[in-house]
Structure 1
Amino acid sequence: MKDRRKFIKISAAMGLGAFLPLQFCSQKKEEQTTQETLISPEEGTLASFGIQLWSVKDNMFEDHVKTIKSLASYGYNQIEGFNAGKGIFWGMKNTEFKTLMDDNGLDFISSHTNTFENLERQAAEAGEIGMKYLINPYVGPQKSMDDFKRLADDFNKQGEICKQNGIRFAYHNHGYTFEELEGQIPQEYLMENTDPDLVDFELDLYWVHTAGHDPLEWLAKYPNRFPLGHVKDKDGSVDRTEPNGSTVIGTGVLDFSTMLKTGRDNGMKYFIVEQERYVDIEPMKAAEKNASYLKSLVF
């Protein structure tokens, strides 16, 4: 994640722009069908799951078509993108990128992007090809709660723009929104001061744990506000507070069997693999192992 924060700082030079308060769009929840649910309640296993392409960003920059085909062969059937350099469609038209997804049996459900720039255009292009979400991945630590109050207002406005284009907006947390500021937890303020009809949240289980909170408590406290989740494990050999400590899923300290069941029971539908740190393993090999773990996980 240290690399991602560095990337975000330099992303303006790549055509992405600084990630300040961001926002996204949203499709009416009643329009989301049961087929979209990632978990099969009857079997207690994942019916489908995705991967955040940041996990294999170097491979994507080298050959995005080859990388997409390989991910599909590992068992992923959903993709979450990110915006860097070539945009969320990797230099292709939105319809061309959707064809690439369709040809490989993949559903391009969401993308992280800068929602403070060209949101109307981004939302229209995403909605045209049936994407479900645009996601604000990072706003950075804020100096005061007044800043988070302004962010909540921004999220509501951006959520409305997304809704008008048939998609939903979501915010993806890091650890800083779970750290007390002026006697408040910013994440709580954002949850309670954004319109559920306009704003959803993507719960990054890793970052909640790293910040010293229990993801299970957040899922139970705010049912149906976390339809997306990042499935990312924490290496037990590093300190809990270490930001750059992700590892192959199933080899760390997080109890995904319990977390995914709790997520399902509280409205989580999309489970997205993410890994940002690699020790003695290549990113694509890790992606394959992560897929194998989720395919075999029973809860």
Structure 2
Amino acid sequence: MKKINRRKFFSTTTKAAGAAFVLSKLPTEIFSNAKANNMPLGFQSWTIKDKLSADFSGTLKMMANLGYKQIEMCSPKGYEQIGFGAFTKMKNSDIRKTIEDAGMKCPSCHFGANEFNDENIDDRIQFAKDLGMTQMICSTFWLPKTATISDYQAAADKLNKAGEKVKNAGLQAGFHNHDFEFEKIDGQLIYDALLARFDPDLVKLQFQTQVIVHGYKAADYFTKYPGRFISAHLSDWTADKKEVPVGQGIIDWKEFFAAAKTGGVKNMFVEMAPDKFKDSATYIQKMYA
């Protein structure tokens, strides 16, 4: 695999100075709340899939040097045509060894909805177990815009069924949201309809904080639905909907981490543009100091 240049991978700009200023002003309560949750710092592989495919080992080591301890993969077979095909050529044991050689673990992975179907689920469970995972996350249902609440409920029922098989294998199934689950159909929020339909024991939720740009806070859901969540995708945003490193946007991270414990969150994965991983890690690591 082709080696990548560290300097090109992580841009060093005045953002670092800005992050340092923000960190100097943070209340110590934030740090203690995050530390109490004791969640390892992780990242989602999607936004750097090209770099991981080109140099898996080198990219993992770069991320580890920033303080990341966990990677959330995307299924090589399910995502073969959209950036993860290189990993279909690797043995599961080699993928795991490369991750562990970088000092990381892979507790979670995104799978397409069809990978939870009867014809695929056994193979994907084996993949998850081979990599030492504890969680299998459905990346969303990708239903058409004409879908009804009943269609979403039917999809949730199918995931519940697969979730039982996942649970029997010693793993936990989960569901990841995007923007469109926070749209309404006939006055009902799709995400709320899914929460009502998912079996709380068989399908946990992975909350994507990006929906703050639509006015929905992770902390509100963690508090309203205790124990229903297993992980979260972390990103931060300005009031005018621009992505910024964690700690430099409008999300109240003190509130987030305090509520995450109530929600049941066990893992956090930063998912942002590559140039924002460094400052985000710096901010979050400061919480653990």
TM over 0.5: yes
Q: Could you tell me whether the CA contact under 8 Å between 2:37 and 2:257 is conserved in 1?
A: no
How far apart, CA to CA, are the structure 1 residues paired with 2:243 and 2:180? 17
- Structure 2 unaligned residues grouped into runs of 5+: 1-30
Corresponding residue to 1:139 among 106, 118, 141: 141
Q: 1:91 to 1:65 in 2, by over 3 A?
A: farther
Q: Deviations over 1:99-155 (max 9, x none)?
A: 112222211011112141322201122123320111111323552111111111111
User: Which has the greater radius of gyration?
Assistant: 2
Q: Deviations over 1:6-52 (max 9, x none)?
A: xxxxxxxxxxxxxxxxxxxxxxxxxxxxxxxxx97694475521000
How far apart, CA to CA, are the structure 2 residues paired with 1:225 and 1:126? 21
Correspondence 1:257 to 2:254:
yes
| Coordinate RMSD, CA, aligned | 2.4
Q: 1:140 to 1:192 in 2, by over 3 A?
A: same
Partner in structure 1 of residue 90 of structure 2: 92
Correspondence 1:272 to 2:269:
yes
Aligned with 1:140: secondary structure?
Answer: coil
Aligned with 1:170: secondary structure?
Answer: strand
Corresponding residue to 1:148 among 146, 149, 152: 152
Q: 1:263 to 1:42 in 2, by over 3 A?
A: closer
Structure 1 counterpart of 2:140, which letter? Y
Partner in structure 2 of residue 112 of structure 1: 110
Number of aligned residue pairs: 247
Structure 2 counterpart of 1:205, which letter? T
Partner in structure 2 of residue 5 of structure 1: none
Structure 2 counterpart of 1:91, which letter? K
Q: Could you tell me whether the CA contact under 8 Å between 2:106 and 2:133 is conserved in 1?
A: yes
Residue 184 (structure 1) shift: 1.5
Q: Could you tell me whether the CA contact under 8 Å between 2:160 and 2:199 is conserved in 1?
A: yes
How far apart, CA to CA, are the structure 1 residues paired with 2:210 and 2:158? 26
Aligned with 2:140: secondary structure?
Answer: coil
Taking structure 2 as the reference length, what is the TM-score of the superposition? Answer: 0.78
Partner in structure 2 of residue 123 of structure 1: 125
Higher helix share: 2
Q: Could you tell me whether the CA contact under 8 Å between 2:231 and 2:265 is conserved in 1?
A: yes
Counterparts in 2 of 1:53-92, with a 5 A limit?
A: 53-83=45-75, 84-85=79-80, 86=84, 89=87, 91-92=89-90
Q: 1:260 to 1:173 in 2, by over 3 A?
A: same
Q: Percent identity?
A: 28
Q: 1:250 to 1:43 in 2, by over 3 A?
A: closer
Partner in structure 1 of residue 12 of structure 2: none
Q: 1:290 to 1:91 in 2, by over 3 A?
A: farther
Aligned with 1:135: secondary structure?
Answer: strand
Aligned with 1:227: secondary structure?
Answer: strand
